[in-house]
A and B are shown apart, each in its own frame.
Chain A
Amino acid sequence: MSEGKRPGGLTALAVLNFVFGGFGVLALLALVALMAFIGVMADSGEEGQEAAREVAKAWEEAGLGVFYAMIAVSAISTILQIASGVGYLKQKKFLGRTLGNAYAVTAVIGSLIPALMLASPEVGGGFQIGTLVGLIYPILTLILLNTTFKHDFIN
């Protein structure tokens, strides 16, 4: 390894962090919008919205604590993801490797919260193969930061 020269894989990882981080921000906004949706549904007396009602009911059964926990973990994970992306580009030990690992662990927890704490698939509950899709990137990040790119954080 040449000192100071950033490997292409680390640059790719940084770009992916920014892209997925952007999607994370959008997902977070969608989750907050869902909160308002639950309130509207609770007050609504209209018929013919059975599927939407089921979603609202499933959230009510799961409890608001889970919902707030999901929002908090998603927000922390997204912030860490974008910050560590900057760290990868600058090859910073704390901003890159430490925050990158922190992001990966937080994202794994964030993926497992709905899988383990929500029973209804309407709100993303239960362990599905979709959960595995969500786990791919954080687990890859965790593996790569601690093996392949372990010695590339030199600043």
Chain B
Amino acid sequence: MNRRQTLLIAKYSTRYSVRGGIGLIFLLLSLTFGLVVAHTMLQPVEMAVKEITKDNPEADKQEITELVLDEMVTFAKPVVSWMVSDSNDADDVDAKRSADDWAGYLLEEQPAVLSAIFLILLFGWPFLIAFGAFDIYAGDIGSRQLRYQLLRVDRGSIFMGRLLGILTTFALVLMLLGLTVVVYMGAKLPMYTWGSLFSWAAQGVAAILWVSLPYVALCAWVSASFGSSFGSLTICSLIIGGVPLFATIGKLTHDAAGYLLYVLPWGFQTKLLHHDWSQVALAGGLCLGQAALFTWLGYRKFTRRDL
């Protein structure tokens, strides 16, 4: 594998991802999804503030916004606590306390609306990844166009270069999305300081990007294994969506089926937004481990298969 060639392929892969069409669809889907999530979270706050301001025209708008957000946090805290809890056992006091602390950190110590947006994005983003990364190699394998590149560059550089290119595209899209949401929130919700918004958004964007690593690596493995873009998209979507589906259904009859979630980051990805840094490091390490495994499997397949 040649480092210079890898970086060159990554650069062109990022630059031309939109030209190919798939990058364009991914860009449009991800920006729309992200902004719709932000819209869904922000609209109730804006509507409630408007209603109260209409009844009390003299009242300070910032104070009203703070009051509305406080009410919403009180209402949402048990729900978020339940969402992030590791245990379904209602008598497990330690797990409940830990989940309550975590929910408190997300909703009270950090900008609550931004936390809610990131929790939903963390859940929905893996599904979008399949649409952005399914065709890293599959289309060119199917059309046999990779043979022309193989005259000048080795298979390892093509594999790693394209993988790096798609990750760069994801990072750029996520940064654009994070910036748009933060600027809008900073302008509309003045009780949050720009510093707190930007630092939490940076952490949230980094968490989503980090969680993307194993999913993208999985898509790269699938894409390297199939000579059909459509087949690759179908398999990627089925695996990414099927894991939580089977885990949820299986858990109804066997508790152990819940561990199926850990085949992909579904079981621990929200821990990347945990208040305890050891939990963040553990979740980050697991993501990295899975990414390394899937990348190795994909690399192995791509470098040995008939192209």
Contact = CB atoms under 8 A, between A and B. Distances in A.
Contact of A136 (B19, B32, B42, B50): B32
Dominant SS at the A interface?
Answer: helix
Contact of B38 (A16, A129, A136): A129
Interface stretch (A4-12, A41-49, A59-67): A4-12
B27 A140 contact: yes
A86 B6 CA distance: 38
Contacts, number: 56
A136 B32 CA distance: 8
B3 interface: no
Contacts of B63: none
Interface in B12-34: 18-25, 27-28, 31-32
Contact of B19 (A7, A130, A140): A7
A148 B19 contact: yes
A25 B20 CA distance: 28
A18 interface: no
Contacts of A8: 19-22
A129 to B, nearest CB: 4
Interface residues of A, number: 20
Contacts of A112: none
B25 A132 contact: no
Interface string A33-47: 000000000000000
Nearest to B39: A129
Nearest to B17: A9
B36 interface: yes
A130 B180 CA distance: 12
Nearest to A132: B35
B47 interface: yes
A5 to B, nearest CB: 11
A13 interface: yes
14 contacts: A8-B19, A9-B19, A9-B20, A9-B24, A11-B21, A12-B21, A129-B42, A129-B184, A130-B39, A130-B43, A136-B35, A140-B24, A148-B18, A149-B19
Interface of A: 7-13, 16, 121, 128-130, 132-133, 136-137, 140, 144, 148-149
